[in-house]
Amino acid sequence: MRILVAMSGGVDSSVVAARLVEEGHEVVGATLQLYDSRESARKGACCAGRDIHDARRVADRLGIAHYVIDAERRFRDSVIETFADAYAEGETPVPCVACNQGVKFTDLLGMARDLGVDAMATGHYVRRIEGPQGVELHRPVDAGRDQSWFLFATTLQQLGFLRFPLGDMPDKDAVRAEAERFGLAVAGKPDSQDLCFIPDGSYARLVEKLRPQTSGAGEIVDLSGNVVGTHEGVARYTVGQSRRLGDATMQGGERQMVVGIEPGRRRVVIGPRTQGVTRELRLRNMNWLVEPPAQGLRCSVQIRAREAVRPATVRRTEDGASVLLDEAAVPAPGQACVMYDGTRVLGGGFIRRHDSAA
């Protein structure tokens, strides 16, 4: 096959390219430049400066063609600006989903088709399985590196074209061992971080710079609307958080957490950490990887990247989907709610704010 490999300059995608070359495929490498190369020297960055150099060096080692795509402006518009918008609206965004579905899968898949390749491979830790009714997306063998939650928005059409060679790898040590076997200079390179575009690691400072209305002190109130403290700016708080509550941390002998954000009123709402807030979720921007159920679908859902799944019933609606959890939780608007049947991803969407139909 002729395969385009999305090469970030890290060890994962480099091993993917090397394995495909070893298997006899005709491989082409492509790297996205996502932001100013001056920001890429810090630990955890990707897709700029040194990373592009590393990807090109791996391509030279493997004897494959390598292209660099300038996607800086599109990345800023589709990922960074929407990230800031979400915080300004009191939501907690998932920029990795926006990046995968924007510049990575959309732009790179477009390039792959323009080049006439048969498939595109990435270094993501998920499995693509040919099931009895078509292609399926599954969690990887290495549960500790599972990226299926971040890839729930991958469409069936995209999934048909994509390949994920690392999904069956037992762990990251095995991947690094492969890199050493292939003689790749990136074998010991540290992993990139989730918020790779934050220069100093402070997302709040970036949001406040781009959306000044999110900065400045405001009220912390309890579930009854009583003012119990002050906060440092709504951009510094997300639903489920217990930090930065100051004197409001303990109320009535119970530790508190953020259960809601009201950006228009510059208020942070808190409640007891020991109790869930709701069993009902409404989802937008649904992506189904199975036939949407006419009746309620019993499945497991994951409402945060690092949380365990929860049993729930999901129903399709005209504007997305509704989810009824078996037990109350504290969902964060803007986060993904992904549905699973065992290891298989059934689909997912983004959690809506309860006070908005947006």
pLDDT in tens, 65-120: 999 999 899 899 999 999 999 999 999 999 999 888 888 888 888 889 899 999 99
Number of domains the chain contains: 3
Residue 101 confidence (pLDDT):
86
* Full strand arrangement of the beta sheet holding 250-251: 227-231, 218-221, 267-272, 254-262, 250-251
Residues 270 and 283 occupy one common structural domain: no
Low pLDDT (below 50) residues in the chain: 40-41, 356-358
141 and 266: one domain? no
**Is 294 inside any structural domain?**
yes
Instruction: State the Cα angle at 50 between 48 and 52, rounded to 5°.
Output: 55
Query: What pLDDT is recorded for position 357?
Result: 38
Q: Are residues 177 and 231 in the same domain?
A: no
pLDDT at position 40, please? 46
Same domain, 292 and 176: no
Judgement on whether residues 17 and 165 belong to the same structural domain of the protein: yes
Residue 163 inside a domain? The answer is: yes
Report which residue type is found at 55. A
- Residue 138 makes CB contacts below 8 A (sequence gap 6+) with 126, 127, 128, 129, 148, 167, 343, 344, 345
Catalytic residue IDs:
99, 196
Pair 52, 103 in one domain: yes
- For the annotated binding site, the residues are 6-13, 32, 123
| Residue 356 pLDDT | 42
> Cα(13)–Cα(59) distance, rounded to whole angstroms?
11
Whether residue 196 lies inside any domain: the answer is no
Dihedral (C-alpha) 303, 307, 313, 319: value to the nearest 10 degrees? 10
Same domain for 249 and 286, yes or no, is: no
Q: What CATH number is attached to the domain comprising 332?
A: 2.40.30.10
Examine the fold and report which residue of 249, 275, 301 is the final residue of a domain before the chain moves on: 275
Query: Is 202 inside any structural domain?
Result: no
* Pair 25, 135 in one domain: yes
Residue 130 domain boundaries: 2-182
Last residue within a domain, chosen from 275, 301, 322: 275
Distance separating alpha carbons of residues 228 and 267, to the nearest angstrom: 11
Contact 316, 248 (CB under 8 A): no
The SS3 of residue 222 is: coil
The verdict on 252 and 174 lying in the same domain is: no
Instruction: Identify whether residues 246 and 293 lie together within a single domain.
Output: no
Q: Does residue 300 share a domain with residue 156?
A: no
Q: Is residue 330 part of a domain?
A: yes
pTM of this structure: 0.92
pLDDT at 56: 97
Cβ(32)–Cβ(108) below 8 Å: yes
Specify the pLDDT at position 358. 40
Within this chain, do residues 29 and 162 fall inside the same structural domain, yes or no?
A: yes
Examine residue 308 and state whether it is found in any structural domain, yes or no. yes
Which residues contact residue 208 at a Cβ distance below 8 angstroms, ignoring those fewer than 6 apart? 214, 215, 233, 235
Q: Is residue 127 part of a domain?
A: yes
Binding residues for ATP: 6-13, 32, 123
pLDDT of residue 41: 47
